[in-house]
């Protein structure tokens, strides 16, 4: 088979459509993966609408992939043909995008899917988990869970605040915070997700309908301890400011979008903008190390996948899925497409 089907963004701010693409050949350090599941992310529709990140068109979108290894590049060890894997793609090359039937994956940032997870579930890990992991352990400067076990439980009895707990990134942020020992773990979300988020490790849920100006007072009702760390998985201008304001003096805030906080001098607070992509040289070493552990953490339940909704129609179902995301019709779940259908 020399060709495959792929979802193309045909032009800047243009339409998406299914077309033909070559089946790629893995180079040194790469794997060729036959994709069985690819998850959608809000950034996918934002690239289409706002012409961001992508430098040339037409291009293939998608960066959450799960499938089986069908070919192995030179120098790769630890993988065999037939291995079930998940990985994060990228937008810089169509070969690494995941809205297609076959994609290349960098072996150093690819993990095997444990037997207790389906392809659908595994495809929810890469992008959101990367953003949460980088946000906590690079942005906030916390001791990583992989640091010879020192990170597990390292922040016992220390509170943390996570904005947007029901988002995919927020869900992994909660789970990582639990593994790091934080308590209480306070998050904002729709109350319909409260029990689910508590099952992931959140101890207190503040209704997302509460005015952002009241977040600090709401947090004070939960704990009398100062809050040294906050992670804003939404990162609108309003949530960034509210997160910054509730922090204790000297506290640290990690955000996933461009900084728009009005900072005040003299309080020692720090704000870090992190980008959850695997090939960012700033945190590449952190992620290469983390990928060695993620399969085991998923197997033991330290990390749980997001709940999924499978889109009908295979690759053709991606376009209506992007519209659902754009129209804010998705909450607490991850949309997943099956490229082989």
Tell whether 78 and 210 lie within a shared domain: no
254 or 274, greater pLDDT: 254
Q: Span 97-105, mean pLDDT?
A: 98
Mean pLDDT for the chain?
95
Tell whether 120 and 204 lie within a shared domain: no
Q: Does the pLDDT of residue 334 top 60, yes or no?
A: yes
Tell whether 117 and 148 lie within a shared domain: no
29-81: pLDDT as tens digits: 999 999 999 999 999 999 999 998 888 999 999 999 999 999 999 999 999 99
Tell whether 155 and 107 lie within a shared domain: no
- Whether residue 298 is contained in a domain is answered as no
Tell whether 258 and 331 lie within a shared domain: no
* CATH number, domain containing residue 118: 3.90.180.10
* CATH number, domain containing residue 178: 3.40.50.720
Integer Cα distance of 177 and 133 in angstroms: 10
What total number of domains does the chain contain? 2
Binned at pLDDT 50, 70 and 90, residue 1 comes out as low
Tell whether 102 and 138 lie within a shared domain: no
Q: Does the pLDDT of residue 314 top 60, yes or no?
A: yes
Tell whether 135 and 267 lie within a shared domain: yes
Q: Which domain holds residue 187?
A: 129-273
Q: Does the pLDDT of residue 147 top 80, yes or no?
A: no
Q: Please give the model's pTM, rounded to 2 decimal places.
A: 0.96
| Percent of all residues in the chain with a pLDDT value above 90, rounded to a whole number | 91
Tell whether 263 and 140 lie within a shared domain: yes
- Whether residue 18 is contained in a domain is answered as yes
């Amino acid at each position: 088979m020399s060709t495959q089907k792929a979802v193309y963004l045909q032009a800047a701010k243009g339409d998406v459509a299914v077309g033909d693409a070559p089946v790629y050949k893995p180079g040194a350090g790469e794997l060729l993966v036959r994709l069985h599941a690819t998850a959608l992310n809000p950034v996918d529709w934002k690239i289409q609408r706002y012409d961001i990140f992508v430098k040339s068109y037409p291009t293939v979108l998608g960066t959450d992939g799960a499938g089986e290894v069908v070919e192995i590049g030179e120098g790769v060890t630890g993988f065999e043909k037939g291995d079930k894997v998940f990985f994060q793609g990228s937008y810089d090359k169509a070969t690494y995008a995941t809205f297609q039937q076959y994609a290349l994956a960098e072996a150093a940032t690819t993990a095997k899917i444990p037997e207790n997870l389906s392809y659908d579930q595994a495809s929810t890990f890469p992008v959101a988990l990367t953003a949460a992991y980088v946000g906590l352990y690079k942005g906030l400067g916390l001791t990583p869970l992989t640091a010879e076990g020192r990170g597990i439980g390292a922040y016992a009895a220390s509170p943390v605040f996570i904005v947007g707990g029901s988002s995919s990134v927020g869900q992994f942020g909660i789970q990582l915070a639990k593994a790091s020992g934080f308590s209480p773990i306070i998050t904002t979300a729709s109350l319909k997700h409260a029990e689910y988020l508590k099952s992931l490790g959140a101890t207190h849920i503040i209704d997302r309908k509460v005015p952002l100006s009241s977040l600090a007072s709401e947090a004070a009702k939960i704990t009398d301890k100062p809050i040294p760390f906050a992670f804003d998985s939404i990162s609108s201008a309003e949530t960034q400011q509210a997160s910054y304001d509730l922090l204790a003096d000297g506290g640290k805030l990690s955000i996933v979008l461009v900084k728009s906080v009005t900072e005040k001098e003299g309080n020692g607070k720090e704000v870090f903008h992190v980008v959850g992509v695997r090939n960012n040289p700033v945190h590449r070493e952190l992620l290469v190390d983390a990928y060695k552990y993620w399969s085991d953490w998923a197997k033991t339940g330290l990390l749980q996948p997001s709940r999924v909704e499978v889109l009908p129609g295979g690759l053709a179902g991606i376009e209506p899925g992007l519209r659902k995301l754009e129209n804010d019709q998705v909450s607490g779940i991850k949309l997943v497409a099956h490229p082989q259908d």
